[in-house]
C-alpha cells in the first residue's frame, strides 16, 4: 500500500491532480485501496488531451459532405425483397446472427430510478422495456428455430441492477445460456479547469464512455471472441430505449450481404427538416452521420427531384455489423466528444458542491463515428410507426406516453 501511495503521489504531482487525495486519510482501508487503483488506472496523458479538446471548437469545413444512397423497404421491388429475405433468413436459421442491446446509458432525461430497461412502460401487462425487447427475440427464435445469442452492454453504474433484474424475472423465459452481460468502459469527469472530479464519498468521479465504447468493451470483455467461437457473422446493435426495435431483420441482412457492405443501418425519414436528429450522409466519401448541430439550414432543407430530403435519413441506432467490421473498428479507439454536464462533486476543502448549471466535462464516443472506418454501408429506410418508438424524456416528445401509444398501435393492444 505504501509503495502504491508513493507511485500515486508521483503521478498526481506530475499531472497537477494532487487534490484527488483530499479525503484519502478519512477513507476506510477498502476505499483507500479502491481510490489508489482508480488513480493508477487513469491515462493522464489522454485526460490532458481531452481537456485541451474542450477548448477547440470542432471544424467541419474540411469535410466533404454528400447525401448517401439508401433503399426504402416499402418500395423494394418484390423479387429484390424476396432475394434479401431468403439470404437473411438462411443466415438466421444457421445461427449466424447475434444481437447486442446497449443499455449502459444513464437515462438522465427519463429520470427513472434504475436501469432504463427496467422501466415499466405502462402497458396493462406492466412489462418492462427489457421484457418488451426480449419478446421480439423469443418470437424470432421460435419463427426461425434458431439460436440467437443476446448480449447486453451495461455500465459499472448499472450492471448489478440489470443482472439482478434479469435473474429476478427468470430471464423473461429466454434461454439463460444465450444471454451475456458485458460492461462498458468509463472515463473520469473533469472540472472546467481540467481537474479530475471526486465523488461525494471521495473516489474518482467516472462516467460511462458513450455508446461508441461498445467496440472496445466487446473486445476487452471477450464478446468478440465468444461470437467468433459461436460462428456469428452478423451482429445487430441497438439501443435499449426503442420499444419497437426490430432486432432480427433478415431483409436488412440480405441487403448488406448482397451489397457486399460490412454494415447496414436503418433510418426513418426526418419528421421535418428541423427535427433534432442526426442523419446519415457521406463524409469525405465514407458513410457517416451528421448531427443536427452540424448541419446547415440549406442542407437540412435541400430536396431531390422527387421532393425527398437529401439529408432526411435519421440515424435511429439500429445497425447491423459484420463481425469483420467489429474487429476492424475495435483496433483503434473512436474519438471522444465532450458533453458539458452538471456534476455534484467534492471540492479541495472536502465540501460537497451541488452545481446549478453545467460545471463539468464528460467524454463520450459515438457508435456512428465507427461508420467512417468502413468503405460502404447499406442504408434502409423503414417506417417510423413500425420500428421507432424511443423512450428518452419523462414527458412530451419521445416519452413513455408516446412510445406506449406507438407500441399499442403497432401491436393493436391496450
Q: Which residues bind ligand UTP (CB under 6 A)?
A: 102-109, 116, 153, 184, 208, 210-211, 239-241, 317, 364, 392
Distance in Å, CB of 251 to ligand UTP, minimum: 23
178 close to 138: Cβ distance less than 8 angstroms: no
Decide the pairing of beta strands 263-269 and 313-322: antiparallel
Residue 346 exposed, middle or buried by CB count within 10 Å (0-12, 13-18, 19+) = buried
Least separation in angstroms between CB 153 and ligand UTP: 5
Residues with Cβ within 8 Å of residue 88, at least 6 apart in sequence: 249, 250, 251, 252, 253, 254, 257
Q: Report the Cα–Cα distance between both ends of the chain, in Å, rounded.
A: 60
CB of 348 to ligand UTP, least distance (A): 28
**CB of 108 vs ligand UTP, minimal distance in Å:** 4
Q: Which is nearer to ligand UTP, 23 or 217 (CB)?
A: 217
Integer angstrom CA distances of residue 94 from 58, 89, 135, 137, 232? 45, 9, 21, 16, 9
Decide whether 21 or 102 has the Cβ nearer to ligand UTP: 102
Q: How far is the CB of 297 from ligand UTP (least distance, A)?
A: 25
DSSP three-state, residue 324: helix
How many whole angstroms separate alpha carbon 31 and alpha carbon 346? 15
Nearest residue (CB) to ligand UTP, 8 versus 391: 391
CA distance 245 to 278: 18
Task: Identify which of residues 186 and 313 has a Cβ nearer to ligand UTP in the complex.
Answer: 186
CB of 255 to ligand UTP, least distance (A): 24
Pick the closer one to ligand UTP by CB: 175 or 358.
358
Q: How far is CA 187 from the centre of its chain?
A: 15
Q: Which is nearer to ligand UTP, 108 or 170 (CB)?
A: 108
Residue nearest to ligand UTP (CB): 105
The answer to whether 181 and 132 are in contact (CB under 8 A) is no
Q: Of 14, 3, 23, 21, give the one whose Cα is nearest residue 47.
A: 14
Name which of 20 and 320 has its Cβ closer to ligand UTP: 320
**Smallest separation (angstroms) from ligand UTP to the CB of 217:** 9
Name the residue nearer to ligand UTP (CB basis): 233 or 291. 291
CA distance 255 to 238: 18
**How many C-beta atoms surround the C-beta of residue 166 within 10 A?**
20
Least distance in Å: CB of 151 to ligand UTP? 12
Least distance to ligand UTP from the beta carbon of 235, Å? 15
Alpha-carbon distance of 5 to 36, in angstroms, equals 7
Q: Report helix, strand or coil for 268.
A: strand
Nearest-angstrom CA–CA distance, 176 and 363: 34
- Residue number with CB closer to ligand UTP (12 or 183): 183
SS (H, E, C) 24-68: HHHCCHHHHHHHHHHHHHCCHHHHHHHHHHCCCCCCCCCCCEECC
Q: What is the maximum alpha-carbon separation in the chain?
A: 72
Which C-beta is closer to ligand UTP: that of 174 or that of 366?
366
Q: How far is 265 from 318, CA to CA, in rounded Å?
A: 6
Which residue, 153 or 264, has its beta carbon nearer to ligand UTP? 153
Q: What minimum distance in Å lies between the beta carbon of 75 and ligand UTP?
A: 29
Give min distance, CB of 101 to ligand UTP, in A.
Answer: 7
Amino acid at each position: 500500500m505504501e509503495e502504491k501511495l508513493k507511485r500515486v503521489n508521483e503521478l498526481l504531482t506530475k499531472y497537477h491532480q494532487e487534490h484527488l487525495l483530499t479525503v484519502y486519510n478519512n477513507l476506510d482501508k477498502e476505499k483507500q485501496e479502491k481510490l489508489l487503483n482508480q488513480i493508477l488506472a487513469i491515462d493522464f496523458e489522454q485526460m490532458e488531451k481531452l481537456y485541451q479538446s474542450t477548448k477547440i471548437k470542432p471544424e467541419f469545413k474540411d469535410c466533404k459532405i454528400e447525401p448517401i444512397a439508401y433503399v426504402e423497404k416499402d418500395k423494394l421491388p418484390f423479387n429484390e425483397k424476396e432475394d434479401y429475405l431468403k439470404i437473411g433468413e438462411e443466415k438466421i436459421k444457421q445461427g449466424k446472427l447475434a444481437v447486442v442491446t446497449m443499455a449502459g446509458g444513464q437515462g438522465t432525461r427519463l429520470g427513472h430510478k434504475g436501469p432504463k430497461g427496467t422501466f415499466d412502460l405502462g402497458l396493462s401487462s406492466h412489462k418492462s422495456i427489457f421484457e418488451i425487447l426480449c419478446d421480439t427475440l423469443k418470437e424470432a427464435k421460435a419463427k426461425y428455430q434458431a439460436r440467437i445469442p443476446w448480449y447486453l452492454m451495461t455500465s459499472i453504474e448499472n450492471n448489478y441492477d440489470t443482472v439482478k433484474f434479469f435473474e429476478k424475472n427468470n430471464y423473461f423465459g429466454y434461454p439463460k445460456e444465450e444471454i451475456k452481460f458485458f460492461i462498458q468502459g468509463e472515463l473520469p469527469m473533469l472540472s472546467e479547469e481540467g481537474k479530475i472530479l471526486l465523488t461525494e464519498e471521495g473516489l474518482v468521479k467516472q462516467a460511462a464512455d458513450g455508446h461508441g465504447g461498445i467496440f472496445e468493451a466487446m473486445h476487452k470483455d471477450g464478446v468478440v471472441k465468444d461470437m467468433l467461437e459461436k460462428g456469428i457473422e452478423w451482429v445487430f446493435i441497438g439501443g435499449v430505449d426503442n420499444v419497437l426495435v426490430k432486432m432480427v431483420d433478415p431483409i436488412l441482412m440480405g441487403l448488406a450481404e448482397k451489397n457486399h457492405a460490412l454494415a447496414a443501418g436503418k433510418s426513418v425519414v426526418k419528421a421535418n427538416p428541423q427535427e433534432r436528429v442526426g442523419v446519415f450522409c457521406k463524409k469525405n466519401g465514407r458513410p457517416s452521420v451528421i448531427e443536427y448541430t452540424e448541419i446547415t439550414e440549406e442542407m437540412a432543407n435541400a430536396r431531390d427531384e422527387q421532393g425527398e430530403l437529401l439529408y432526411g435519413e435519421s440515424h435511429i441506432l439500429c445497425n447491423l455489423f459484420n463481425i469483420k467490421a467489429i474487429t476492424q473498428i475495435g483496433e483503434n479507439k473512436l474519438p471522444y466528444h465532450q458533453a458539458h454536464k452538471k456534476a455534484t462533486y467534492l471540492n479541495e476543502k472536502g465540501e460537497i458542491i451541488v452545481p446549478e448549471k453545467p460545471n463539468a466535462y464528460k467524454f463520450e464516443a459515438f457508435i456512428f463515428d465507427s461508420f467512417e472506418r468502413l468503405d460502404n454501408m447499406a442504408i434502409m429506410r423503414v417506417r417510423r410507426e413500425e420500428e421507432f418508438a424511443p423512450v428518452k424524456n419523462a414527458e412530451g416528445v419521445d416519452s413513455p406516453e408516446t412510445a406506449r401509444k406507438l407500441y399499442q398501435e403497432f401491436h393493436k393492444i391496450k
